[in-house]
């Protein structure tokens, strides 16, 4: 192992590969900022360019584009509420409110530090634990994944305000319903397509995210011009805020970053989970751990709510390389494209890769650590200039948001039907916002819906249609037990609070 690490270090530190890390990070950062042009499209475009390189150099370049895009996607999420990639949707929940309050500089700085910390901690985990974690990936079965998805749905409580838990559950169910539109992958039958060929592939996540956040936000500017212009004025008065993070804030965020890094990495290790689920789970976990006073800040500009998903999604990116390199199993759409690239280079990923091709295996892992440093050095000096986007007049910024939202979705499918669906979803989103229905649970249900259904079907097929799969395996039973605890925790806390208040009243009466 030590010989392999040294070989990987010498390969990653060569001038050509250092240049590839820089080019990948730089390109990925700007691609991530543009809605619609996610890491999958970028890496697919990079494959023909890398054919002349050796496998290690090609993989280093594509890995740089991958985590660079996740790093850069937070910028548009924070500044204009338009998540560049799916993994940064949760970043917008608190990042955008911070920007509207005049703290865009601090929000971008915390996102940069959190991304760096998450990616670096995960790269260290990857360095020492990749071969061992391959067996963990293999031990997860369909029943365990289904239980994990159910646990993920408990994060809905993080997006529910006081007394709005049932409303959040309803929105989650709406998201689950939307995820069933399209072709049933198991039976090959069309569902809820109403005879339309355009709905055969279902609704894309990018379309839903952009319509729910960016497009509806731009339309709200038109509906409520006075309120929004006042917010913009307040933001620009503070010169877009300071980038400085105080010592108290660092002390407060350090445990958040540590927890989210570990959670994000282990979610990334599981094939099919990915950065988006990791970011939602981290956000939900941090809100559960927060005090009653801190919980009220979530969704309104909480620093914890910004740091948690931003740390987790970058850690999950690094974690997703475990199943890719050690098992040859892609953990996401992006790593599936990278798997195809590896095979085209004549490299067969699998358990023997770090023995037969140590230079490829270890150089990619070591390049991640170098890449995270480059991303931090690249992005921090640019923050004051990027943040000035908020200072643009609304009559210029609003059409820009509309343009990037619509063109971003159109460039994915080149289908005008998607634009029509996007406008309908945006109008629905505005109605939900006006009646104070949270939109995040809908996205959560949509993300988890397809994976939940697939894994439930496989688990039922293995158990001959019996529900015994829920408690037969220790991993499944443990995850479901944690789910029950998470769901009951708020109820138990409410009962304790009521009893405490009653006890105080009795004591006051006696006094």
Is the pLDDT at 363 greater than 80, yes or no? yes
Neighbours of 239 (CB within 10 A): 14
Identify the weakest region by mean pLDDT among 47-56, 154-163, 336-345, 474-483.
154-163
**Greater pLDDT, 475 or 494:** 475
Share of the chain above pLDDT 70, in %: 83
| Eight-state DSSP code of residue 510 | H
Beta strand pairing call for 182-183 and 190-191: antiparallel
- Lowest mean pLDDT, pick from 94-103, 118-127, 488-497: 488-497
Share of the chain above pLDDT 90, in %: 3
2-50 pLDDT, tens digit per residue, is 776 777 788 888 888 889 889 888 888 877 777 656 677 677 767 777 7
**Contact criterion met (CB below 8 Å) for 267 and 311:** no
> What is the distance, to the nearest Å, from the Cα of residue 172 to the centroid of all Cα atoms in its chain?
17
Residue 276: closest CA among 160, 152, 142: 152
Average pLDDT, the chain: 78
Tally the residues of the chain: 511
pLDDT in tens, 200-238: 888 877 788 778 877 887 787 777 655 444 444 444 444
CB 205 within 8 A of CB 223: no
170-209 pLDDT per residue, tens = 888 888 888 888 887 777 788 888 878 888 888 877 788 7
- The predicted pLDDT at position 289 comes to 81
pLDDT, position 233? 47
pLDDT confidence of residue 235: 43
Most confident stretch, 125-129, 161-165, 297-301, 319-323: 297-301
Half-sphere CA count of 197, side-chain side, radius 13 A: 2
- Residue 352: is its pLDDT beyond 80? no
| Residues 105-138 pLDDT 10s | 888 889 889 988 988 888 888 777 766 765 666 6
* pLDDT value for 232: 43
pLDDT at 261: 92
Say what the pLDDT of residue 130 is. Answer: 66
Contact 151, 276 (CB under 8 A): no
Does the model's pTM come out above 0.75? no
Contact of 81 with 96, CB cutoff 8 Å: yes
Q: Name the packing angle between helices 416-434 and 394-413 (round to 10°).
A: 130
């Amino acid at each position: 192992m030590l010989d392999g690490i040294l070989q990987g270090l010498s390969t990653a530190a060569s001038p050509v590969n250092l240049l590839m890390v820089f080019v990948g990070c730089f390109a990925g950062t700007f691609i991530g900022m543009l809605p619609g042009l996610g890491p999958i499209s970028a890496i697919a475009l990079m494959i023909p360019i890398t054919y002349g390189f050796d496998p290690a150099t090609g993989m280093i370049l594509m890995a740089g584009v991958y985590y660079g895009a996740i790093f850069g996607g937070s910028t548009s999420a924070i500044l204009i509420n338009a998540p560049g990639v799916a993994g940064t949707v949760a970043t917008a929940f608190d990042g955008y409110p911070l920007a509207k309050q005049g703290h865009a500089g601090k929000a971008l700085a915390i996102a940069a530090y959190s991304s760096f910390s998450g990616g670096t901690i995960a790269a260290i985990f990857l360095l020492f634990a990749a071969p061992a974690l391959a067996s963990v990936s293999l031990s997860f079965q369909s029943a365990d994944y289904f239980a994990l998805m159910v646990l993920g749905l408990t994060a809905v409580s993080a997006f529910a305000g006081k007394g709005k838990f049932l409303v959040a559950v309803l929105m989650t169910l709406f998201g689950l319903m939307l995820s069933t539109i399209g072709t049933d992958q198991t039976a090959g039958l069309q569902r809820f397509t109403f005879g339309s060929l355009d709905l055969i592939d279902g609704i894309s996540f990018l379309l839903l995210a952009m319509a729910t956040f960016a497009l509806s936000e731009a339309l709200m500017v038109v509906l409520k011009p006075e309120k929004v212009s006042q917010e913009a004025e307040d933001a620009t008065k503070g010169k877009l805020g300071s980038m400085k993070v105080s010592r108290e804030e660092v002390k407060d965020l350090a445990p958040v970053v540590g927890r989210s890094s570990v959670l994000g990495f282990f979610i990334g290790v599981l094939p099919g989970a990915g950065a988006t689920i990791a970011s939602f789970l981290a956000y939900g976990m941090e809100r559960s751990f927060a005090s009653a006073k801190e919980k009220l800040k979530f969704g309104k500009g909480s620093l914890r709510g910004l740091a948690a998903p931003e740390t987790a999604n970058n850690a999950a990116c690094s974690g997703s390389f475990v199943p890719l390199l050690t098992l040859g199993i892609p953990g996401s759409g992006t790593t599936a494209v990278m798997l195809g690239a590896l095979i085209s280079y004549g490299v067969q990923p699998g358990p023997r890769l770090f023995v037969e091709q140590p230079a490829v295996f270890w150089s990619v892992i070591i390049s991640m650590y170098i890449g995270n440093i480059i991303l931090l050095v690249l992005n921090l000096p640019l923050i004051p200039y990027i943040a000035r986007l908020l200072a643009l007049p609304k009559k210029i910024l609003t059409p820009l948001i509309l343009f990037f939202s619509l063109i971003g979705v159109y460039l994915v499918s080149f289908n005008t039907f998607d634009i029509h669906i996007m406008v309908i979803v945006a109008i629905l989103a505005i109605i939900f916002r006006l009646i104070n229905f949270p939109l995040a649970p809908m996205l959560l249900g949509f993300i988890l819906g397809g994976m939940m259904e697939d894994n439930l079907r496989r688990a039922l097929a293995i158990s001959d249609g019996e529900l015994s799969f829920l408690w037969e395996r220790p991993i499944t039973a443990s995850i479901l037990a944690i789910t029950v605890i998470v769901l009951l925790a708020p109820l138990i806390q409410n009962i304790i609070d009521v009893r405490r208040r009653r006890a105080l009243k009795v004591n006051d009466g006696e006094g």
